[in-house]
Amino acid sequence: MKIFHLFRTSLIALGLNKARSALTILGIVIGITAIILIVSLGQGAQNLVLGEIEGLGSELIVIRPGQEPSGPTDIGGTLFADSLKERDVEALKKKANVPYAADVAPVIIVPGSVSYLGETYRPQIFGWSAEFMSRVFNIYPEEGVMFGESETRQRSSVAVIGSKVRDELFGLEDPLGKNIKIRGRSFRVVGVLSSQGQVAFFNVDEIVLIPPSTAQTYLLGIDYYNEVLVLAESPELVERTVRDIELTLRESHKITDPKKDDFFVVTQEGLVNQIGTILGVLTAFLSSVVAISLVVGGIGVMNIMLVSVTERTREIGLRKAIGATNRDILGQFLIEAVFLTGAGGAIGVFFGIVLSFVASLALSRGLGVAWAFSFPWSAAIIGVAVSGLVGLVFGIYPARQASRKNPIEALRYE
């Protein structure tokens, strides 16, 4: 019997029981929809995060204190570590130690809010050389100036603010020269950043920059840094520079065994790999949970196919009497099952894509991030193939039952 007719026969049989066919494949449809949704959103998240990391610039090297976190939840080691101090920064700045470092800038993260007269706002406050930011991220003041080395040395109480911070605190008033309060201390606003939105891991419009030394001494009373940023002279020199940094800090901290490092170095490339791995594992985990629903769906298909085989006992008997071989009958029911689940898979792919498109729209509107919809081609193809396979696996038993029916008993069946 020709394959085309097998398909047509199956299609007719399924068409005779539309409601039942639809309900049967519902499990498969839901499973595949969920898988497509997860994979698509996973890809979107990955693109978003990777895009932000790429915004760091490939020459940027980040040094963090403490042990390298072993997983996404292991941040305790860095949050409270105090191993990066001023003498480390001085050591890194020496050309003899790190010859290809174009720039070294320590960073302090200051928790708290900013207020001006009656207005209060909660931006991200960094103790961070504003001039470094200009050099690395090409962020320049819209009004006023950036502060740099000299303000840091003098522990000046100056601040550069993002455009949104200005709008929130000052409204239409000119902020330059005005004093804002951070953790009880007054800072004079010397510059306002031009509006640029998200750059790397922060939103330029919602930050306040103050000299790191001022933040250490007057705001937090600490002598360590949260991060030290090093800019390599070129992307090719990043690897060499990372090595130089490690050697310098080990010497400075008197560490001989690299396993006992009390700092770790992150580069763009390393971050990209790490995040890619984490999201990949997460997507695979969620997909495998959803795959269970495909097994459940497959059992549903098997159940209905068995009912259908019993119901169509007479038909099977007749087909055998007029010349169908066992193989013909097996093929007919197998194709019916595969067709059923394959169609379920295709419908699931369609719904999955529609839903993930809607979700990506909602995410980019709702969160204000550049969440790009990505069409998961591989997941779509695998989804349809897997659901077809589910039909094959769960259809084979009912189809064998059908093909083994004795034609006489089948014809006599009432």
Partner 1 sequence: MALFEVENLAKVYGDGKVQTPVLHGVSFGIEQGEFVSIMGPSGSGKSTLLHILGFLDKATSGVYRFEGKRAEEYGEEEAAHMRNEKMGFVFQTFNLLARTSVLENVKLPLLYSNVPERLWDSMAKKAIEDVGLSHRSEYEPSQLSGGERQRVAIARALVNSPSVIFADEPTGNLDSKSGSQVMEIVAQLNTKGHTVIVITHEAETAERADRILHLRDGRIEKDEKAAR
8 Å CB contact between 209 and 245: no
For partner 1, the binding residue among 64, 85, 164, 319 (CB under 8 A) is: 319
Encoding tokens for residue 155?
């522990």
Q: Report the residue number, 169 or 410, with the smaller CB distance to partner 1.
A: 410
Q: Report the residue number, 193 or 316, with the smaller CB distance to partner 1.
A: 316
Q: Report the residue number, 3 or 172, with the smaller CB distance to partner 1.
A: 3
Q: Report the residue number, 313 or 364, with the smaller CB distance to partner 1.
A: 313
Is 320 among the residues that bind partner 1 (CB under 8 A)? yes
Q: Report the residue number, 288 or 326, with the smaller CB distance to partner 1.
A: 326
Q: What is the DSSP letter of 195?
A: P
Is 408 among the residues that bind partner 1 (CB under 8 A)? yes
Question: What's the angle, vertex CA 200, arms to CA 375 and CA 240, rounded to 5?
Answer: 105
Is 411 among the residues that bind partner 1 (CB under 8 A)? yes
Give the C-alpha separation, 386 to 227, whole Å: 47
Q: How many CB atoms lie within 10 A of CB 409?
A: 10
Is 325 among the residues that bind partner 1 (CB under 8 A)? yes
Is 197 among the residues that bind partner 1 (CB under 8 A)? no
Q: How far is the CB of 358 from partner 1 (least distance, A)?
A: 39
Encoding tokens for residue 69?
């976190």
Give the C-alpha separation, 114 to 188, whole Å: 12
8 Å CB contact between 50 and 275: yes
Q: What is the DSSP letter of 215?
A: I
For partner 1, the binding residue among 51, 141, 197, 407 (CB under 8 A) is: 407
Q: Report the residue number, 215 or 324, with the smaller CB distance to partner 1.
A: 324
Using DSSP bridges, classify how beta strands 158-161 and 101-110 pair: parallel, antiparallel or unpaired. unpaired
Q: How far is the CB of 320 from partner 1 (least distance, A)?
A: 7
Question: What's the angle, vertex CA 161, arms to CA 233 and CA 133, rounded to 5?
Answer: 0
Is 18 among the residues that bind partner 1 (CB under 8 A)? no
Is 2 among the residues that bind partner 1 (CB under 8 A)? yes
Amino acid identity, position 171: G
* Residues in 288-317 at the binding interface with partner 1, rule: CB under 8 A: 314-315, 317
Binding residues for partner 1 (CB under 8 A): 1-2, 5, 9, 12, 16, 314-315, 317-328, 407-408, 411
